[in-house]
Amino acid sequence: MMNFKELTTQLLDWYDRNRRELPWRTETDPYRIWVSEVMLQQTRVEAVIPYYRRFLQRFPDMRALAAAEPEELLSVWQGLGYYSRARHLQQGVQEVQARYGGRMPDSREEISGLPGIGPYTAGAILSIAHNKPEPAVDGNVLRVFSRLLVIREPIDRLPVKRRIETTVREMMAGISRCGDVTQALMELGALVCVPRNPRCDSCPWQGHCAARLENAQDALPIRKAPALPRIVHVVTGLLLRDGQVLTVQRPPRGLLAGMWEFPSVESSDSPGTMADAERLLQERFRELGREITVLSAGQSLTHIFSHRQWQLRTFFCRDRAATIPGSVDAGRWLPLGRIESLNWAGPHRKIAAGLVSEMGKQIHEKGK
Ligand code: SF4
């Protein structure tokens, strides 16, 4: 039988002696904790620190973030990836403004109703900002407890998560440092009970840890086999005119929402021939009011997202007619010298850079 009080005391003693100084560690403002937790999802601590500081300089409170233009939000977030996190964060603070008069609610039910806040982020805000005994259980915490308790079931199963949440709740019962328990568990998972070769000799729980006693640390946690990313073929058209290239903005929802790209078509099958690619691109460009022909193939590249993989092929195109009479002249002509001015969707930045270097080479060759 675990002695929860002892576990908590050992954990907090260890945390007091070993914790890293991180900019969000001293915060109790729910908004700032919310920002840090959203940024830390799928991103390393060292990478987050400069973004966190810059973000809060620009949007120091919920009111500032709620009023930000999407383009500005995107430019402050760009480089951190998973832009949908930023959009959800903004929608969340806008809802706090509209529904709660700008004050962050302090019940799990209300916080969980805000856009982009899942059980983990809700637990982190409630325990750290409001000092409530609410668990925040992420992959790190699941790993630590799967070893401490030797849980030989996949940790992504809901009953396992519930069991670990109950254990954390027991550890927080009747103490005044619930937020520190949350942060200490995260720190233990990040510094000591790491995925490979856990540093058990430095662990405050080495005397209790069942996995250590059984020498089973490296076999835990158990995970379900991850689903392979879905392959999506993307055919991209590069239409150039007078040192400019045609770009379009992605829809306001979904993958890479609102970011800029070259006109593209997604398909589940690879276009076998250049004629197949041309047919796809002609359809896409017609939507933009243009008749094109494909001149030649450009670069090919692969970009991996968490659940899908883009296999992207580019094609240089030529305008057959300036615009189709009566159609919309859509898209934005971007001078090649200004490619840095756009928030590019994933691999399109690389394509833009390749295009500029290719054009530079051609000008150089002509000049010889
Ligand atoms: Fe993890 Fe080792 Fe500590 Fe067990 S003793 S919780 S395996 S670091």
| 125 and 180 inside one domain | yes
What is d(CA 238, CA 286) in angstroms, rounded to the nearest whole number?
A: 14
Comparing 56-65, 119-128, 272-281, 316-325, the range with the smallest average pLDDT is 316-325
| 153 and 241 inside one domain | no
For position 13, which CATH number holds?
Answer: 1.10.340.30
Instruction: Determine if ligand 1 sits within 6 Å of the CB of residue 209.
Output: yes
CA of 224 to the centre of ligand 1 (A): 22
| 252 and 172 inside one domain | no
Tell whether 92 is covered by a domain: yes
Predicted local confidence at residue 326, as pLDDT = 55
| 163 and 43 inside one domain | yes
| 8 and 134 inside one domain | yes
Alpha helices (H) in 154-264, listed in sequence order: 158-172, 178-191, 210-214
| 140 and 177 inside one domain | yes
Tell whether 180 is covered by a domain: yes
Domain hosting 61: range is: 4-219
| 160 and 241 inside one domain | no
Residue 239 pLDDT greater than 80, yes or no? yes
Which ligand 1 atom minimizes the distance to the CA of 192? Answer: 8
Tell whether 257 is covered by a domain: yes
pLDDT band at 102 (very low <50, low <70, confident <90, very high): very high
| 206 and 289 inside one domain | no
Residue 73 pLDDT greater than 70, yes or no? yes
Give the residue from 154, 184, 219 where a domain finishes. Answer: 219
Predicted local confidence at residue 362, as pLDDT = 65
The residue with greater pLDDT, 267 or 1, is 267
Instruction: Determine if ligand 1 sits within 6 Å of the CB of residue 144.
Output: yes
Whole-number average pLDDT of the chain: 91
CA torsion angle 109 111 113 118 (round to 10): -100
312 and 234 Cβ atoms separated by less than 8 Å: yes
When divided into structural domains, the chain yields a total of 2
Predicted local confidence at residue 168, as pLDDT = 97
What amino acid positions are annotated as catalytic residues?
37
Give the residue from 187, 219, 251 where a domain finishes. Answer: 219
Give the residue from 219, 246, 274 where a domain finishes. Answer: 219
CA of 218 to the centre of ligand 1 (A): 10
What is d(CA 71, CA 195) in angstroms, rounded to the nearest whole number?
A: 37
CA of 161 to the centre of ligand 1 (A): 18
- Render pLDDT for 132-177 as a digit per residue (tens, 0 to 9): 999 999 999 999 999 999 999 999 899 999 999 999 999 999 999 9
Half-sphere exposure of 193 (CA within 13 A, CB side): 29
Predicted local confidence at residue 253, as pLDDT = 81
Tell whether 224 is covered by a domain: no
User: Considering the entire predicted model, what is its pTM?
Assistant: 0.68
CA of 189 to the centre of ligand 1 (A): 9
- Render pLDDT for 52-72 as a digit per residue (tens, 0 to 9): 999 999 999 999 999 999 889
Residue 263 pLDDT greater than 60, yes or no? yes
| 17 and 158 inside one domain | yes
Residue 367 pLDDT greater than 70, yes or no? no
- Render pLDDT for 211-233 as a digit per residue (tens, 0 to 9): 999 999 999 999 887 777 889 99
| 12 and 134 inside one domain | yes
Mean pLDDT of 301-323: 87
Predicted local confidence at residue 322, as pLDDT = 59
| 234 and 207 inside one domain | no
**Measured CA angle at 77 (ends 351, 81), to 5 deg:** 55
For position 321, which CATH number holds?
Answer: 3.90.79.10
Tell whether 225 is covered by a domain: no
What tokens were used for 320? 């057959």
- Render pLDDT for 328-339 as a digit per residue (tens, 0 to 9): 557 899 999 898
Residue 327 pLDDT greater than 60, yes or no? no
Tell whether 197 is covered by a domain: yes
Residue 298 pLDDT greater than 60, yes or no? yes
Instruction: Determine if ligand 1 sits within 6 Å of the CB of residue 89.
Output: no
Instruction: Determine if ligand 1 sits within 6 Å of the CB of residue 7.
Output: no
The residue with greater pLDDT, 154 or 361, is 154
Which ligand 1 atom minimizes the distance to the CA of 188? Answer: 8
Distance from chain centroid for Cα 38 = 8
Percentage of the chain surpassing pLDDT 70? Answer: 95
| 200 and 291 inside one domain | no
* Residue with the two structure tokens 């806008």: 94
Instruction: Determine if ligand 1 sits within 6 Å of the CB of residue 148.
Output: yes
What is d(CA 42, CA 117) in angstroms, rounded to the nearest whole number?
A: 15
Mean pLDDT of 186-207: 96
